[in-house]
Every structure is written in structure tokens, then in C-alpha cells.
Amino acid sequence: MTTDPRPELVDSHCHLDFPDFAEELPDVIARARAAGVRRMVTICTRLRNEPAVRAIAEAHDGVFYAAGTHPTSAAEEPLATVDQLVALARHPKFVGIGETGLDYHYTADSAAVQKTSLRLHITAAQETGLPLIIHARAADDDMAAILTEGYRDRPYSCVMHCFSSGPALARTALDLGFYLSMSGIATFPKSQELRDIFAAAPVDRILLETDSPYLAPIPHRGKRNEPAYIAFTARTGAALYNMTEAEFAAQTTANFDRLFPRAALRARAA
């Protein structure tokens, strides 16, 4: 028996239910596996879409899912309840709470409801023991305050998905024991400040993601992103930490397993 020489990669955040993939989802997943991406977490951003996202996870080995209300949709959707999120978390392939968070870039007018929604998701993460998946944009001060307030009340685990905020929020998250997730943005030529933030963070707190179909890394920037392209982001990350690509892949996969133990247990049992 031969072993696969490619290092295992994990796409910790993608959106496989989005229409961009509707016509070729099996091919997208096959290309990811061919690129060494053994596991993916597909994220539900509106709870009314949870059945469709769950069905994708159920249909494909190595695909897990999370669900929550995206902050830019918080004013349009019914508020998620803690009981509702806890009930969803009973599914064996449900591995995280969110994405949730704060986004004041386009939707600052809904800041109050976003904060309420975020706190409900934090409580669900505390109740279930599953990691919180955070979207943060143009809201660093409020985000740091609410995450810290919730953690002091009752500790929980968390990943700052597609991290592209400032160094102060990065430090707050790291000080709370949270993780920073690196997306294709880190490969962009004008993202040196962001690369510096990642380089200053402990490598054992870094995850990889595509956020596909968005944010395709160089050399695919401007095109539809997909999980297979995470290898390009991993290459950038490896250079930041003076590691080989195989070493960085192994480290970020170990980090994923630590933060998402349900996905790790299922992978070991497979």
C-alpha cells in the first residue's frame, strides 16, 4: 500500500451551498481532495438554509458544517435562539457556532441587533462547548469588548475567521486563547500589514481557510475561489513562519483538530 505524499490541508471555512458551486459541487470537492484538502467546514450564514448545508455535509465524507446568522443578515433574519443553536449542535457533523459577529462596513445601522445576535451565539458556544466562528469587519473595539466580556463570564473557544482586522483585535483574540484564520487576503501584494500580524502570532494559533467562493488567493485573484486553492494560502503562511509547506500544513491541521475536536474525532474514526 502506498501513502499519499501530499500534506493534509483543512479548509476551515467555505460556503459549499452557495449558488456558485451548484452545478459542479462533486467536482469542486474532488479537486479539493486532489490538492490534499481532506476536510472542509461549510458554513451556513442564515439558519433557514441549515437543512441544505447539513445535507452537503451528510453527503460527503470529510465535509463538516457550522451554522449561525451572519452579522450583515442579522437585521433581516429572525434572531437565532440559544435553544435553536444547541439543538442543531446535536448533529454529529455540526462542529461550530456561526458565523456570527459584527460588520459595520456596510451595515452599521444594524449594530444593536448585531450585538444581540453575537451574544446569543456566544452563549450557544458556551453551552455546547463548540467553537465560535467570528466575522469581524470595521468593528474592532466593539468586537474586542464583547468577546472579552463573554469570555470572562464563561470561557469558550473561538476562531476569528478570515482575519483582516487590526493588531489590537488580533492581540485581544490571542490573549483569550482564540485562533486567527488566514485567507487568500494574506497573499495579496498590498496585505503586508496583515502578513505582519500573522507573523507575530504563535503558529499554533493559525488556521487556514478559503471563504470560498470569495477571496481567491494569488494567482487566482478575481476568480471564483474554491477549497483546492487553499494550497496557495498555505504557501504564503509557510514563508511567513520560515517553515516548509509540509510543516505548515501539518501545524495548521493540528491546530484545526485542537479547536474542532468533533471533526478530529470523526477523522480518526474513519
Please determine, for residue 135, whether its predicted confidence score (pLDDT) is greater than 50.
yes
Please determine, for residue 235, whether its predicted confidence score (pLDDT) is greater than 80.
yes
Count the neighbouring beta carbons within 10 Å of the beta carbon of residue 188.
Answer: 16
Please determine, for residue 4, whether its predicted confidence score (pLDDT) is greater than 60.
no
Q: CA-based diameter of the chain, in Å? A: 59
The amino acid at residue 80 is A
On whether the CB atoms of residues 123 and 82 are closer than 8 A, the answer is: yes
Please, what is the average pLDDT of the chain?
Answer: 95
Kindly list the domain boundaries of the chain, sorted by start residue: 9-269
Please determine, for residue 78, whether its predicted confidence score (pLDDT) is greater than 80.
yes
pTM for this entry? 0.95
Count the neighbouring beta carbons within 10 Å of the beta carbon of residue 83.
Answer: 10
Buried b or exposed e, range 164-176, using 16+ CB within 10 angstroms: bbeeebbebbbeb
pLDDT digits 0-9 by tens, 161-203:
999 999 999 999 999 999 999 999 999 999 999 999 999 999 9
- Would you state the pLDDT for residue 265? 77
Please determine, for residue 3, whether its predicted confidence score (pLDDT) is greater than 70.
no
- Would you state the pLDDT for residue 270? 54
- The fold for domain 9-269 equals TIM Barrel (3.20.20)
